Chain A
Amino acid sequence: MTTSTLTDRLGSLETFNQSALDRFLEKRIDPLWLSAKRKEAWEIYQSLDWPNPRDENWMRSDIRGLKLSKFAPNVDESTQIASGSPVRLLDGVDVSASARSVNGVVVSETLDEKLSAKGVVVGSLSRCAREHSGIVEKHLHSLICPKSDRFAALQTAMWSDGFLVYVPRNVRIELPIHLHAALGDGQVDLSHTLIVLEEGAEATVLFESSSPDPMASGFHCGGVELIQHGNSHLRYVNLQDWGKGSWHFAHQRASVGRDAQLQWTVAAMGSRFAQVDQRVQLVEPGASSQVNGVMFTQDRQHLVYNTLQHHNAPHCNSDFLYKSVLQDRSRTVWRGMIKVSPGAQKTDGYQRNDNLMLSDAARADSIPGLEINADDVRCTHGSTSGRVDEELIFYAQSRGFTRSEAIRMIVTGFFQQIFDRITIESVREALGAAIARQVRQYE
């Protein structure tokens, strides 16, 4: 695969072209600053090539099957063709606010009045860009640079809608906020999620994405920005369960301020191909972040996660644990990097990736890395990969478990270390159930 053939394939029958952009902008009612930002990103989009397969971040990514021409930007108001997309994280959960999008456009929003009175904002990012222009202008795409790659540029230019969660100073929201993105078969989601917690604010956000049918195709090119000011607490859960024919490209960023705490749980099960660039920046002393990643793949799914835990300030803590279980011919790539800037003394960084293979044809690449420019730090990393131990299966069988029950239990146990860290019961149960459902009968 060379760059030029990839460009041909993705770009020659380009549906994301100038006339599409013009029509898109025409339909929108954006504040001026936003239109300007979009146009600027579009210039970048046009100047960039699709990612070079020799690029470190993309060399283990195979996107030859992506035919962008099959997808078109969602210019018109969204129709509800994605109805029936399952919601998994809401079982037995009371929420304080919720919002739902279909094909990247928000179709419903709710927010507890008491929170609204306190200045909390939850809902459509397009609407908020008009109604709370100041907040959005200040934070939107402040962590994601459109020059990162062509997908980031496209998303910055043509993001269609998405969600804003804004929690003012010292407001603590007890009940979770639920966000759901549905994507119809063959449809496009160019959404953005922006979460801003002012000083001392606290919130739990459950975000999930799904498709009406488990094999649905689709194209998601999205962005997530989590911005935490001092002493704020955010628990963010992201269940990616797009149809298994979908393409998922995302830049996901967090910036964690002084003594603030972030717990970010990622569960990746959907899409045929996913490339996620996840970065957590610890920008002020005392910031702490915990990232829990669960990947479960099957068939020919191929999930690529490039993670960065960037210590920009002293006395910060980052703890990344990614675990994946792979079956059939699926493939995962995890590239983890801990970066410590000069002066970020007393950094405590940890990263780990464990992979459990349920078939010989599955493949997990695990590439941990350290880049340390301070001398008084503690950084540890590690990774393991292996097959399910037949001795464990026999042991369970000798206690009456069938072979597939035994494997399911071993897989659940493998993820338990992560589940133990997730304090939200509905999330734990939904993930456990989703995983158990997918474990195949295998010999």
Chain B
Amino acid sequence: MSHILRIENLHVSVNDKPILRGVNLVIKFGETHALMGPNGSGKSTLGLAIAGHPNYQITEGSIWLDDANLTEMEADERSRAGIFMAFQRPVAIPGVKMADFLRHAATNVRQPDRKEGQDLIPMREFRKELKSKMEQLKMDPEFARRYVNDGFSGGEMKRAEILTMAMLSPKFSILDETDSGLDADAVRLASASIAEIGRDKMGLLIITHHDKLLEHNPPQFTHVMLGGRIVETGGAELARELHDQGYDRIRKAYPDAEAANQQMLAKEEPVAV
């Protein structure tokens, strides 16, 4: 099986404010890519645009999953096509139990042609699978009965996102700072879980400031984003350099992008999405 996620000259605006200014990126099934860059450079925006958040308008360019043009699809269709994003800030859905949520999600993703109202994965079968995945992630079984992200600690949320990924077995996963809320132990577990799904059975885009997740999942490629563009691409050593030395070299080397980045930050105003 071989799949390819291709992002071509992607321009994205939020509320008519341009954020991504021509991103090109190709991720092949089985590859791990790191996406780094200073705050506000557009990393989350890229992920959300791929996932299909309706507030992130694609003004130019396209996103392809194999032969399918993702930009023409709703978020749920993209999910069913094999795209997954572990969010930096997942929202809570009060009153909806994790287990019920995941059962419905897994059914839809595994049966992309399922129509509304058709049967879900049988409860027993699903419970067994969920239980074993949760054991791998060393999650309390009680977790399944809690409401989605409701009252979760930062670490619990991130773990829940990893669990969701494990249950959905996507073709391509974007992990947006999934390691930032986790302690070293939890990062190890998350990595083990990624390994369990099989790094070779998915394409990974890991957005991170830290090297923890990357240590366990050494990237073949590291991309640096600044001012809404990918300004540099290297191997695992680039991730290490940025982690150790920060973005000073990058900022100096790409003054235009740095100016754009500053401009975006300056104009930053909170907008409800």
With A395-B90, A397-B74, A398-B79 already in contact, 11 other A-B pairs whose C-beta atoms are closer than 8 Å: A397-B75, A398-B85, A398-B87, A399-B105, A399-B109, A399-B164, A399-B168, A400-B107, A401-B108, A406-B76, A416-B94
Nearest-CB distance from B11 to chain A (Å)? Answer: 21
A393-437 toward B: CB 8 Å interface, digit per residue (1/0)?
Answer: 011111111111110011011111100000000000000000000
Comparing B18-26, B51-59, B128-136, B240-248, the segment that makes contact with chain A is B51-59
Q: Is the CB of A416 within 8 A of B75?
A: no
A371-413 toward B: CB 8 Å interface, digit per residue (1/0)?
A: 0000000000000000001111011111111111110011011
Whole-angstrom distance from the CB of A337 to the nearest CB of chain B? 27
Q: Which residue of chain B lies nearest to A414 when distances are taken between CB atoms in the complex?
A: B95
4 residue pairs, one from A and one from B, having the closest CB atoms: A413-B95, A416-B95, A400-B108, A397-B75
Enumerate chain B residues within 8 angstroms of A397, measured Cβ to Cβ.
52, 74-76, 79
| 7 interchain pairs, CB-CB under 8 A | A390-B273, A394-B75, A395-B90, A397-B52, A400-B80, A402-B76, A409-B104
CB atoms of A401 and B273 under 8 A apart: no
Q: Contact between A392 and B75 (Cβ–Cβ < 8 Å)? A: no
B29 located at the interface, meaning its Cβ lies under 8 Å from any Cβ of chain A in the complex: no
Please state if B96 and A400 are interface contacts (CB–CB under 8 Å). no
Question: Which A191-233 residues have C-beta < 8 A from chain B?
Answer: none
Min CB distance, B61 to chain A, in Å?
21
Chain A residues, CB < 8 A from B254: none
Please determine whether A400 and B93 come into contact, CB atoms closer than 8 angstroms. Answer: no
CB-defined contacts of A402 to chain B, threshold 8 Å: 76, 108, 116
B1 at the interface (CB under 8 A from A): no
A413 touches B104 (CB 8 A): no
Q: Is B64 an interface residue (CB 8 A)?
A: no
Complex Cα spacing A395 to B84, Å: 11
Find B93's partner among A398, A410, A415, A417 (CB 8 Å cutoff).
A410
Q: Please tell me if the beta carbons of B54 and A390 are within 8 angstroms of each other in the complex.
A: yes
The minimal Cβ–Cβ distance linking A2 to chain B, given in whole angstroms, is 44
B76 adjacent to A391 (CB under 8 Å): no
Say yes or no: A416 contacts B79, CB within 8 Å. Answer: no
Output the residue of B54, B96, B273 with the most chain A CB within 10 A: B96
**For the complex, what is the distance from the CA of A344 to the CA of B95, rounded to whole Å?**
35
Q: B95: which A residues are within 8 A, CB to CB?
A: 412-417
Q: Which residue of B lies closest to A391 (CB)?
A: B91
Which size bracket describes the interface of A in this complex?
20 to 34
Closest residue of B by beta carbon distance from A409:
B96
- Docked pose: A405 CA to B90 CA in angstroms: 19
Sort chain B's interface into a size bin. Answer: 20 to 34
Cβ of A392: which chain B residues have Cβ within 8 Å of it? 91, 93
What is the number of contacts between chain A and chain B, taking CB atoms within 8 Å? 85
Q: How far is the CA of A406 from the CA of B79 in the complex (A)?
A: 14
**A410/B96 in contact, CB under 8 A:** yes
Residue of B84, B87, B91 ringed by the most chain A CB atoms within 10 A? B91
Given contacts A390-B54, A391-B273, A392-B91, contact A401 B96 (CB under 8 A): no
| Interface of A (DSSP majority class) | helix
Pairwise interchain contact A395-B91, C-beta atoms closer than 8 A: yes
Q: What are the residues of chain B within 8 A of A405 when measuring CB–CB? A: 104, 108, 116
How far does the alpha carbon of A389 sit from the alpha carbon of B94 in the complex, in Å? 12
Residue of A nearest to B87 (CB): A395
B90, A414: Cβ atoms closer than 8 Å? no
A358 to chain B, nearest CB (A): 16
| Chain A contacts for B84, CB-based, 8 A | 398
Contact assessment for B93 and A413 in the assembled complex, using a CB-CB cutoff below 8 Å: yes
A51 to B101, CA, bound (A): 47
When C-beta atoms are compared, the residue in chain B nearest to A413 turns out to be B95
Asked whether B147 is an interface residue with its Cβ less than 8 Å from the other chain, the reply is yes
Cα separation A238 to B95 with both chains bound (whole Å): 22
Bound-state CA distance A413–B150 (Å) is 11
| Min distance, Cβ B104 to any Cβ of chain A, angstroms | 6
Q: How far is the CB of B51 from chain A (nearest CB, A)?
A: 5
Q: How far is the CB of B160 from chain A (nearest CB, A)?
A: 11
Residues in chain B near residue A410, CB distance under 8 A? 93, 96
Q: Using CB atoms, name the residue of chain A closest to B150.
A: A413
Cross-chain contact A400 with B147 (CB below 8 angstroms): no
Bound together, the chains give a CA A418 to CA B258 distance in angstroms of: 52
**Is B96 a contact of A412 with CB atoms below 8 Å?**
yes
- Rounded to whole Å, the gap between the CB of A410 and the closest CB of chain B is 6
Min CB distance A431 to B, Å, is: 13
The residue on A at minimum CB distance from B76 is A397
Say how far A324's CB is from chain B's closest CB, in angstroms.
15
Cβ < 8 Å to A, chain B residues 88-135: 90-91, 93-96, 101, 104-109, 116
Q: Which of A390, A401, A412 has the most CB of B within 10 A?
A: A401
Which A residues touch B101, using CB under 8 A?
A: 396, 399, 409
- From A390, A394, A403, A416, B96 is in contact (CB under 8 Å) with A416
In the complex, are the beta carbons of A401 and B76 less than 8 A apart?
A: yes
Residue of B nearest to A400 (CB): B108
The residue in chain A whose Cβ has the minimal distance to the Cβ of B51 is A398
The CA of A229 and the CA of B106, in the complex, are separated in Å by 51
Residues of A within 8 A of B168 (CB): 399-400
**A398, B93: Cα distance in complex, Å:** 14
Complex CA gap A346/B51 in Å reads: 54
How far apart are B170's CB and chain A's nearest CB, in angstroms?
10
A406 and B105 CA atoms in complex are apart in Å by: 10
- For the complex, give the distance between the alpha carbons of A166 and B177 in Å: 63
CA distance A392 to B109 in the complex (A): 18
Q: Nearest A residue to B110 by beta-carbon distance?
A: A400
Residues of B within 8 A of A401 (CB): 76, 104-105, 108
Among B85, B94, B109, the residue within 8 A (CB) of A400 is B109
CB <8 Å contact, A400 and B79? yes
Residues of A within 8 A of B87 (CB): 395, 398
Chain A residues, CB < 8 A from B104: 400-401, 405, 409
In the assembled complex, the CB of B199 is this many whole angstroms from the nearest CB of chain A, namely: 22
Please state if B147 and A413 are interface contacts (CB–CB under 8 Å).
Answer: yes
In the complex, chain B residues whose CB is within 8 Å of the CB of A389: 91
Contact (Cβ within 8 A) B116 A409: no
Contacts of A417 in B (CB 8 A): 94-95
Nearest residue (CB) in B for A389 is B91
On whether A413 and B91 interact (CB within 8 A), knowing A399-B105, A399-B164, the answer reads no
Q: How far is the CB of B157 from the nearest CB of chain A, in Å?
A: 12
Report how far A396 CA is from B92 CA in the complex, Å: 10
Nearest Cβ on chain A to B114's Cβ, whole angstroms: 9
